[in-house]
Structure formats: structure tokens, C-alpha cells
Amino acid sequence: MKLILAPMEGVIDHHMRKALTSVGGYDACVTEFVRIVDLCLPDKVFNRISPELAQQGRTSSGIPVILQLLGGNPEAMAASAQRAVELGAPAIDINFGCPSKMVTRKMGGSVLLKEPGQVHDIVAAVRKAVDASIPVTAKMRLGYENDALALDNALAIEAAGAAELVVHARTKVEGYKPPARWEALAPLREALTIPLIANGDITSLQNYHRCFEASGCESVMLGRGALNNPSLAKQIKQSSHNEAIEPMNWRAISSLILATSEKMELDYPQEHIVRRHKQWLAMLRAAHPAGQRVFHEIRRMTVLADIKSELREEENRG
Ligand SMILES: Cc1cc2nc3c(=O)[nH]c(=O)nc-3n(C[C@H](O)[C@H](O)[C@H](O)COP(=O)(O)O)c2cc1C
């Protein structure tokens, strides 16, 4: 079983990867995408998206950080993967899921799912460009408009040499509309020899088990569920080992946000951190009654110190 922390542009950056992997349960993380058009980008772009490159491509808890590339030009993708690996990326993931508004195929993402041959060529070019010891993985949706090519795309990715495949169980057209169709993953899992990792709406332990029953996928990727419930991955692991489940209490969550805030303050302006805290607390309130209370208190605050002081009060309240 493998649990992966999802890439979420503008939401899960290196600070969040550090925070969430420190809680435990994760086996890997994937960075926000690096968009590749027709040139390999300067090193600073890779280092900004994955500051972990400076620490052997791992979070402070030692969890590998897979670098994600998005693009439709096989040569540029191959050159970029090669450079990312030289800089320290422990694995490369290719994004075929982004519902990008830029519809030219050169731009990459889910629009490429209309052409399994193109999907194959991109994965094959990246696979060929990096050392065999570096896993190349892919993340896709079930399709663009419908699922008709889901199996063709999955098989193309496998044939091109990918080590594993994550599938977000929706089409591009379905966006994020619930429910994720976990049952549509089962035929893909049966047809593939590489591991299939389920993704989409796994927001609780109960949903994890429902997804497993519907898809047969033991391994999953957690996005919004990881933010709603920072100990979800740990709970899934505890459940699979028949250990007692230890939900994280609000005091520990407040401490985690405050510690993350301190790190963010070294990198980002105050307004940005205020927005990010509101974003996280808005997600946390779904699973934690105390989160609801704090979100209500801070939602109109604009000064970071005020938000931190509210969190400290909650931290003390326990
Ligand atoms: C704000 C946001 C940003 C995202 N950014 C990326 C990204 O950079 N790369 C990617 O492959 N998927 C991205 N996704 C998709 C997620 O990784 C994931 O597939 C999706 O949220 C469904 O999983 P979940 O229900 O566990 O959140 C993003 C999703 C959201 C909501």
C-alpha cells in the first residue's frame, strides 16, 4: 500500500508538504506542476517549485518529493526531466489531468487524453531521458469528455515505461463535481500490471474503504482530504495495520498551523499567508468542530498576528 500526498497548485507547496508529511502516513508527495512549453526552464523554476531538491528531494521527514511536469512537447519534457533529475528530483511525474483552459495540445494536461499516442510518446521520451533508477510516473483523469479512451491511455502510459499511474476518477468535463467514480478504476486496475493509485474524494477513512471496495485499489492519493484532516494518511495506515486509530486533536492541528506559519513568514508576504491560512482553515472546518469556530473568528481578519493569536488561544484551549 502506498499513500501519496497530491499536487495542488497554489495550495500544497513545500511548507504544506513539510507540515503534512510530519504527521505521518505518507510514502511520497508530488509537487505542483512545472509547465513546460518548448524549452527547458532555468534551474530557479525547478528550485522554486521543489525547494526540497536542495535536500535530496525529500521533505524534512524524509519523504520523497516527486517533481511533476506538465506539457505536450516530448523533447522539451524529456530535457526538463533530465535537468530536474540532475538537480536532485528522486522521480518524475507527468500531468495528464490538469483541466487547463489552454486547449492547444502543446500545453499538456487533460487535453492530451484525446490522443493516447501522444500520451505514450511523452511518457516514453521522459522515460528514455532519465536514468533507469529514476521512476517515471503519470497522473491522469478518466478522460477529457468521457471515459472512452481511459483504458487506451492507461495502457499507453504503461507501455511507455511508467512505474505507476494515478487516476483521478473523473473526466475533465466533470471537473470536481462529486461523486468521484471509483468503480470506473476497477477495469483499469485489472488490465494494468503497474500499480494503479486511486484519487478523488478520499476525504475520510470510511471513504478510503469505500473507494477500495469499488476500485480494488489499495494505494491512494490524497488531496483535499489531506487538508481537511491532516492525520488521514496516518489513520489509513493505522487501519490497514489493525492498529488503534488516533485522530489528531485540535490542539495539535493549531500547533501545526502555527509552526507552518513561522516557516511561511520567511518566504511570503503577510497577505499571502493570511489568504493561505484562511484557505486551510476553511478546509479544516469540514472535519473539526473547533475549526469551524476558528474559521468564523478569523474569516474577516487581515492581520497575520491576529490570526496567530486566535490559533494560540485555541492551542491553549486544547
Ligand atoms: C487547487 C487545486 C490545485 C491542483 N493542482 C494540481 C497540480 O498541480 N497537479 C495535478 O496533477 N493535480 C492538481 N490538482 C488535482 C489534485 O491533485 C487531485 O487530483 C484532485 O483534487 C482530486 O483529489 P482530491 O479529491 O483528493 O482532492 C489540483 C486540485 C486543486 C483543487
Cis peptide before 179 (omega within 30 of 0): yes
**For ligand 1, is residue 201 a contact (CB within 6 Å)?**
yes
Report pLDDT digits (tens) over 187-245.
Answer: 999 999 999 999 999 999 999 999 999 999 999 999 999 999 999 999 999 999 999 99
Q: Let me know: does 61 contact 17? Beta carbons within 8 Å.
A: no
CA distance 214 to 285: 28
> Does ligand 1 come within 6 angstroms of the Cβ of 108?
no
pLDDT digits (tens, 9 = 90+) for 270-298: 999 999 999 999 999 988 989 999 999 99
Q: Is 7 touching ligand 1 by the criterion CB < 6 Å?
A: yes
pTM for the structure as a whole = 0.97
The per-residue pLDDT of the chain, averaged, comes to 95
Residue nearest to atom 12 of ligand 1 (CA): 7
Ligand 1 centroid from CA 309, angstroms:
31
* 3-state SS assignment for residue 17: helix
Beta strands in the chain, from DSSP E residues, in sequence order: 3-5, 28-30, 34-35, 65-70, 92-96, 136-143, 164-171, 196-199, 220-222
Residue 311 and residue 131: Cα distance in Å, rounded?
A: 46
pLDDT at 255: 96
Block residue for cell numbers 473539526: 288
C-alpha cell at 24: 505521518
pLDDT computed for residue 171 by the predictor: 97
- Ligand 1 atom at minimum distance from 170 CA: 22
Cell triple for 158: 504503461
Pocket test for ligand 1, best of 4, 9, 201 (most atoms within 8 A of CB): 9
Please identify, by atom number, the ligand 1 atom nearest to the C-alpha of residue 202. 26
pLDDT at 105: 62
**Is 199 near ligand 1, meaning CB less than 6 Å away?**
yes
Choose one of 5, 31, 94, 168 to mutate for the ligand 1 pocket test, by most ligand atoms within 8 angstroms of C-beta: 168
Measured in Å, residue 163 CA sits from the centre of ligand 1 at 20
Q: Which of 40, 98, 211, 217 is catalytic?
A: 98
Instruction: Extract the C-alpha cell encoding 148.
Output: 472512452
Query: Which pLDDT value is given to residue 317?
Result: 73
Q: What are the angstrom distances between the C-alpha of 58 and each of 101, 130, 139, 316? A: 32, 19, 20, 32
The grid cell for 182 is: 471509483
32 pocket-lining for ligand 1 (C-beta < 6 Å): yes
Residue nearest to atom 19 of ligand 1 (CA): 168
- CB environment 109-121: b (16+ within 10 A), e (fewer): bbbbbbbbebbbb
Alpha carbon of 190 to ligand 1 centroid (Å): 25
Is 232 in contact with 211 (CB distance < 8 Å)? no
**Residue 222 CB–ligand 1 contact under 6 Å:** yes
Encode the chain (318 residues) as per-residue pLDDT tens digits: 999 999 999 999 999 999 999 999 999 999 999 999 988 799 999 999 999 999 999 999 999 999 999 999 999 999 999 999 999 999 999 999 998 766 456 678 999 999 999 999 999 999 999 999 999 999 999 999 999 999 999 999 999 999 999 999 999 999 999 999 999 999 999 999 999 999 999 999 999 999 999 999 999 999 999 999 999 999 999 999 999 998 899 999 999 999 999 999 999 999 999 999 999 999 999 889 899 999 999 999 999 999 999 999 877 775
| pLDDT attached to residue 316 | 77
Give the model's pLDDT for residue 11: 96
Other Cβ atoms less than 10 A from the Cβ of 276: the count is 20
| DSSP characters over 242-308 | TPPP-PPPHHHHHHHHHHHHHHHTTTS-HHHHHHHHHHHHHHHTTT-HHHHHHHHHHTT---HHHHH
Is 211 tagged catalytic? Answer: no
Query: Does residue 223's CB lie within 6 angstroms of at least one atom of ligand 1?
Result: yes
